[in-house]
Structure 1
Amino acid sequence: MREEEIKKALEEKFSELYGNTEGIRYFFAPGRVNLIGEHTDYNGGHVFPCALSMGSYAAVKKREDKNFRFYSLNVEGAGVISAGEHDFTPLEDKQWAAYLKGVIWAMEKRGLEIPCGLDLVLYGNIPNGSGLSSSASLEVLMGSICKELYGLSVSFPELALIGQYSENNYNGMNCGIMDQFASAMGKKDHAIFLDTATLQFSYAPIVLKDHCIIISNTNKKHKLIGSAYNDRRRESEEALKILQKFRPIKSLGELSDEDFFALEKEISNPIIRMRAKHAVLENNRTIAAKKALEEGDLHRFGELMNLSHDSLRDDYEVSCEELDTLVDAARDLPYVYGSRMTGGGFGGCTVTLLEKDKKEEFMRKVAEIYERKIGYPCSFYEAEISDGPREL
């Protein structure tokens, strides 16, 4: 649906559910795709994501009392989810609206006043479980709604931190800052080069001309809460504690490749050693990839994408047969520069850099191989790099 069609659908449902639509406002927050720098954000490393044109939309209106009502056009069977001011229970709330409620909860924990409730209708066009950060999109959407609706003095980087805090502490997902930051700080036709240790960032223009970025969706949903994602974070923290005995570091992202290889023998557990190896080398790949992109060296950028996937598959062990099938099929094509999984892993999407005039052939050939091997179809989207959240 086009944006005007989405607004119309939201307004119609809002009227049906809540009555008077006078004074309703419309908001959008994007999803994201990460070009390179995976599982580095909670290890104090660099990431290189960009915001997408797909994301989460909401029609919303303030109430005069302290009650909140949420409805999603994507989860119609759930009906209207209602919450009073005391109905915010961290780690116990399992409904989809927990991502929105968690942000309200986190804002109040931060001393930001939410003086009244609201009615909200949501629509999202990010495929669920695709690894394109539908949860971060919801969190940044709710944060920007509260900022504008209640006149809160809070910056967009702060909205990203609030979203991360809510996902960590309300939803129990120990994610880093990348997803929320990419959604909150997106800039059209630019990737964000972010140092997650300091939150210093810069924008890098994405000038592809004769090339394009295709997102391939395995259509295998990943569920990260309660999964191996939290295990990877714990294993990385264990590696850091060991290496801190030999170097005065605060994060794995402070180490060069040479530093790591000089110290790796101190990590006796081979699993923990592999996790640290990925975190260190992936961070330095990301720094090199940003330089390659700035220099217009797309071949080098693609090589680094390939190395990233191999590390995520072998050292961090967050890939899966479906992701590997997409990556292998892509890499076998001569006009593909690089392909890798993107997002937390265990399903979701890959991101591929290729020659633009070959994109139809690419999608056809990869789709044939994938369905033959996996047994069901994949999906494709051409990445449209977008701005961050906005009121429509």
Structure 2
Amino acid sequence: MNKHEFFTLFFEQFGYSNGVRIFFAPGRVNLIGEHTDYNGGYVFPAALTFGTWAAVSARTDGIYRFRSTNFPSGADTNVNELAYKEEDDWANYPKGVLKELIQMAGADQAQLFSGADILFHGNIPNGAGLSSSASIELVTALALSRTAGLKIPIIELVKLGQRAENRFVGVNCGIMDQFAVGMGKQSHAIMLKCDTLEFQYVPVKIDGHKIVITNTNKRRGLAVSKYNERRSECETGLSIIQKQLPNVKSLGDVSYAEWEKVRYAIEDGTIRRRVEHVITENGRVISARKALEENDLDAFGELMNQSHESLRDLYEVTGFELDVLFEEASKAPGCVGTRMTGAGFGGCNVSLVKEESVGNFKQAVAANYTARTGLEPDFYVCEIGDGTKEITEEE
């Protein structure tokens, strides 16, 4: 969608288009490093070129009107009456961000948030696990802070987005999604240590290859309950390890050599498998960075495969559809590596595919996946783009 079309939609929604500014926040894909974020480990996400746009214009009456081209519902709220309402659905995300912005501004600057009309438009597949919620949070945070005249650093908006999802929406997510969406860089992945926020941009040089995301189109009904269950299991495992290694603050601090020495202390087989996944997955992220730096895409692809197998066998968050997709993608033409991405139990798979084979890859995977599951997958051939920003006249 170009800027002129977006201005037209804003006019149709609100009856005017003067004073409108446009902002963008991408979706993200995690290339490797799954379920390590809330365990203080490494992740390896990249921002995508599709995401969420927001057209915004300031008001002076304290009213915020949230609308979307993607959903029929919206929400109007007074700046002094920001409360979670189930009937507001998706609009609770920008409402939560606004509440956090006002708290961050403090009493001296809270009056700067005097109202706004904001129209969202997204092209992230809904429910695919590519961070549509973090995209909405970050585009709202940048749009409303800049409209209020505040130049808050993006890294602070990243933290604010996570707080909004934790406190207002009530999802106990880690920071990876907001960080990748906010801090993304074109043609680079981000190697991020989630507990310290230390990070490094790693060039993704995959000439002759494409990143292909495949949506299972399986609704992720178990994701939230199983996510909370896995977090609890990992916390139990960490508490046992800390009795052996008192200086360890998170599972992300435990090397594989240390794990081999203390694994005997965890008697429960399920807890032991969960911890084994986190520690080995953390090591795979470190190896993946090295593989990319050495331009060894075969090694990178093999690490992707190992990641899925660990998520399937040790962490048990894949499910039938994702496993079928992994099996069919693995044997499809030109596939260098493939794995589930996101929370699991549906959602998406990410594959590294030779460019000349993308058409045959999609055809083979679609036919075989549908034959086995009865579902039709969707494919997205992706580019790695920049993080959250304002769209200026030049763009």
Instruction: Provide TM-score, normalisation by structure 2.
Output: 0.94
Secondary structure at 2:13 match in 1: helix
Out of 83, 89, 106, the residue aligned to residue 89 of structure 1 is 83
| Alpha-carbon separation, structure 2, partners of 1:241 and 1:93 | 39
Residues 1:143 and 2:137 aligned together: no
Secondary structure at 1:194 match in 2: strand
Out of 185, 190, 193, the residue aligned to residue 191 of structure 2 is 193
| Alpha-carbon separation, structure 2, partners of 1:86 and 1:32 | 33
| Alpha-carbon separation, structure 1, partners of 2:80 and 2:235 | 35
Out of 72, 94, 117, the residue aligned to residue 100 of structure 1 is 94
**1:197 shift after superposition:** 2.0
CA gap 1:234/1:107 in 2 versus in 1, 3 angstroms: farther
Out of 26, 39, 43, the residue aligned to residue 39 of structure 2 is 43
CA gap 1:242/1:91 in 2 versus in 1, 3 angstroms: farther
**1:196 shift after superposition:** 1.1
Q: Deviations over 1:219-239 (max 9, x none)?
A: 123257742112212221121
Consecutive unaligned residues in structure 1, runs of 5 or more: none
Tell whether the 8 Å contact from 1:45 to 1:254 is kept in structure 2 after alignment: yes
Any residues of structure 2 matched to 1:41-120 within 5 Å, and which? 41-76=37-72, 78=73, 80-90=74-84, 95-112=89-106, 113=110, 114-120=112-118
Q: Deviations over 1:263-307 (max 9, x none)?
A: 122112222221111111111110111111100111111111111
| Alpha-carbon separation, structure 2, partners of 1:347 and 1:87 | 36
| Alpha-carbon separation, structure 1, partners of 2:151 and 2:8 | 32
Partner of 2:154: 156
| Alpha-carbon separation, structure 2, partners of 1:289 and 1:347 | 24
| Alpha-carbon separation, structure 2, partners of 1:147 and 1:108 | 9
| Alpha-carbon separation, structure 1, partners of 2:366 and 2:85 | 39
**What is the one-letter code of the residue matched to 2:76?**
S
Tell whether the 8 Å contact from 2:216 to 2:375 is kept in structure 1 after alignment: no
Residues 1:260 and 2:259 aligned together: yes
CA gap 1:154/1:60 in 2 versus in 1, 3 angstroms: same
**What is the one-letter code of the residue matched to 2:39?**
N
Q: Deviations over 1:178-201 (max 9, x none)?
A: 110000011111111111121111
| Alpha-carbon separation, structure 2, partners of 1:34 and 1:337 | 17
**What is the one-letter code of the residue matched to 2:152?**
V
Tell whether the 8 Å contact from 1:54 to 1:126 is kept in structure 2 after alignment: yes
**What is the one-letter code of the residue matched to 1:360?**
G
Out of 205, 208, 219, the residue aligned to residue 206 of structure 2 is 208
Residues 1:172 and 2:170 aligned together: yes
Partner of 1:122: 120
| Alpha-carbon separation, structure 2, partners of 1:239 and 1:165 | 26
**1:380 shift after superposition:** 0.7
Tell whether the 8 Å contact from 1:131 to 1:349 is kept in structure 2 after alignment: yes
**What is the one-letter code of the residue matched to 2:283?**
N
Q: Deviations over 1:18-64 (max 9, x none)?
A: 22211011111000001001111111111111000010011111110
CA gap 1:207/1:25 in 2 versus in 1, 3 angstroms: same
**What is the one-letter code of the residue matched to 2:68?**
S
CA gap 1:212/1:104 in 2 versus in 1, 3 angstroms: same
Secondary structure at 1:58 match in 2: strand
More displaced, 91-100 or 347-356?
91-100
Partner of 1:295: 294
Q: Deviations over 1:332-388 (max 9, x none)?
A: 136322100011111111111121111110000000001111112101111111011
Provide the aligned length of Structure 1 versus Structure 2. 386
Partner of 2:219: 221
CA gap 1:282/1:94 in 2 versus in 1, 3 angstroms: farther
| Alpha-carbon separation, structure 2, partners of 1:254 and 1:383 | 32
| Alpha-carbon separation, structure 1, partners of 2:95 and 2:266 | 41
CA gap 1:240/1:91 in 2 versus in 1, 3 angstroms: farther
| Alpha-carbon separation, structure 2, partners of 1:228 and 1:68 | 35
**What is the one-letter code of the residue matched to 1:140?**
L
| Alpha-carbon separation, structure 2, partners of 1:230 and 1:318 | 12
Tell whether the 8 Å contact from 1:91 to 1:169 is kept in structure 2 after alignment: no
Residues 1:34 and 2:36 aligned together: no
| Alpha-carbon separation, structure 2, partners of 1:153 and 1:58 | 17
Tell whether the 8 Å contact from 1:140 to 1:163 is kept in structure 2 after alignment: yes
Tell whether the 8 Å contact from 1:188 to 1:387 is kept in structure 2 after alignment: yes
| Alpha-carbon separation, structure 1, partners of 2:6 and 2:113 | 24
| Alpha-carbon separation, structure 2, partners of 1:325 and 1:8 | 43
**1:310 shift after superposition:** 0.8
Secondary structure at 2:244 match in 1: coil
CA gap 1:150/1:375 in 2 versus in 1, 3 angstroms: same
**1:260 shift after superposition:** 1.3
Partner of 1:22: 18
**What is the one-letter code of the residue matched to 1:20?**
Y
CA gap 1:91/1:21 in 2 versus in 1, 3 angstroms: closer
Partner of 1:386: 385
**1:108 shift after superposition:** 2.4
| Alpha-carbon separation, structure 2, partners of 1:282 and 1:302 | 14
Partner of 2:365: 366
Consecutive unaligned residues in structure 2, runs of 5 or more: none
**What is the one-letter code of the residue matched to 1:26?**
I
Instruction: Provide TM-score, normalisation by structure 1.
Output: 0.94
| Alpha-carbon separation, structure 2, partners of 1:220 and 1:347 | 5
